[in-house]
């Protein structure tokens, strides 16, 4: 089974105030800078789980995604922080958090500046339909251009069904209506060929290995056991992949409405 590295946060550098949950740039004991996502932030652990699953599925499908690591935050870390809001966030996030390698010098993707071909656009739209990712709109693309390559970031708002787990088996088979707002939808004309390629990659075994990366302590609340909770994520994703024709048809319908 694949594993993620674990680092210890050594220095809080600066908050990223454009993020709703106040992520931060921080330095770790390996000497690298990371975008640190806090377990004590508004959406809490659920956003970290969505980030972890989203990033690792994207990576297995061949997308450029920053390295994801687990990041330990020591109890004493926030004591010298003068900003009360940030200090409270640090106190609420002691223990295991999630961090992504900071792409220094990257620029925000602009569809008017960077052209994306039909194949890549279709691949990204397919991924976001699978993940139910509401955050890839013209207003907030969550894509970066770094060293002339397109990188996908910030999947914390994906898999939004897990904030309540209401009718989650039904949700797995639902179209993703919000795809109509996707920044790359007008160029996503190769969804059917992408579907064949991606379903061949995303085997049940691969999905299981990605979901198995979720730390046990993050699986709390809605289920009687951690095993049931983990199994539900696996079942949701494998069922959604098996029924991908539903979200593909919705995306194609939304594209026709644009044209």
Give the pLDDT of the chain (259 residues) as one tens digit per residue: 568 999 999 999 988 866 566 899 999 999 999 999 999 998 889 999 999 999 999 999 999 999 999 999 998 877 777 888 888 889 999 999 999 999 999 999 999 899 999 999 999 999 999 999 999 999 999 999 999 999 999 999 999 999 999 999 999 999 999 999 999 999 999 999 999 999 999 999 999 999 999 999 999 988 999 999 999 999 999 999 999 999 999 999 999 987 5
Q: Phi first, then psi: what are they for 85, rounded to 5°?
A: -60, -45
pTM for this predicted structure: 0.95
pLDDT digits (tens, 9 = 90+) for 181-207: 999 999 999 999 999 999 999 999 999
3-class secondary-structure state, position 27: strand
Q: What is the dihedral of CA 66, 67, 68, 70, to 10 degrees?
A: -140
- Half-sphere exposure of residue 102: CA atoms within 13 angstroms, side-chain side: 19
Q: Phi first, then psi: what are they for 246, rounded to 5°?
A: -65, -50
pLDDT digits (tens, 9 = 90+) for 49-59: 999 999 999 99
Exposed/middle/buried for residue 182 (C-beta within 10 Å: 0-12, 13-18, 19+): buried
The dihedral built from the CA positions of residue 102, 144, 16 and 155, taken in this order, carries a sign that is negative
Q: Are 132 and 161 in contact (CB under 8 A)?
A: yes
Reference 229, options 240, 239, 221, 241; nearest CA is 221
Helix, strand and coil in the chain, % to nearest 5: 45, 15, 40
For residue 74, what are the β-bridge partners?
none
- What's the CA gap between 173 and 239, in Å, rounded? 7
Would you give the distance in Å from CA 183 to the centre of its chain?
17
- What's the CA gap between 55 and 152, in Å, rounded? 8
């Amino acid at each position: 089974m694949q594993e993620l590295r674990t680092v210890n946060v050594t220095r809080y550098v600066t908050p990223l105030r454009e993020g709703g949950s106040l992520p931060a740039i921080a330095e770790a004991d390996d000497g690298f800078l990371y975008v640190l996502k806090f377990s004590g932030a508004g959406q809490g652990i659920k956003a970290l789980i969505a980030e972890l699953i989203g990033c690792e599925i994207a990576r297995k499908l061949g997308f450029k995604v920053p390295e994801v690591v687990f990041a330990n935050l020591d109890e004493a870390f926030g004591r010298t922080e003068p900003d009360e809001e940030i200090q409270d966030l640090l106190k609420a996030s002691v223990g295991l958090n999630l961090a992504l390698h900071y792409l220094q010098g990257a620029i925000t993707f602009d569809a008017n500046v960077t052209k994306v071909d039909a194949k890549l656009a279709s691949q990204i739209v397919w991924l976001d339909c699978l993940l139910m990712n509401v955050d890839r709109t013209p207003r907030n693309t969550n894509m970066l251009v770094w060293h002339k390559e397109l990188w996908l970031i910030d999947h914390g708002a994906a898999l939004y069904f897990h904030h309540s787990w209401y009718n989650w088996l039904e949700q797995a088979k639902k179209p993703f209506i919000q795809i109509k707002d996707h920044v790359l939808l007008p160029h996503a004309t190769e969804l059917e060929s992408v579907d064949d390629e991606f379903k061949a990659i995303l085997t049940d075994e691969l999905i299981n290995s990605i979901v198995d990366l979720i730390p046990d302590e993050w699986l709390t609340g809605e289920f009687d056991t951690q095993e049931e909770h983990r199994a539900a994520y696996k079942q949701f994703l494998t069922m959604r992949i098996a029924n991908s024709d539903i979200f593909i048809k919705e995306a194609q319908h939304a594209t026709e409405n644009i044209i």
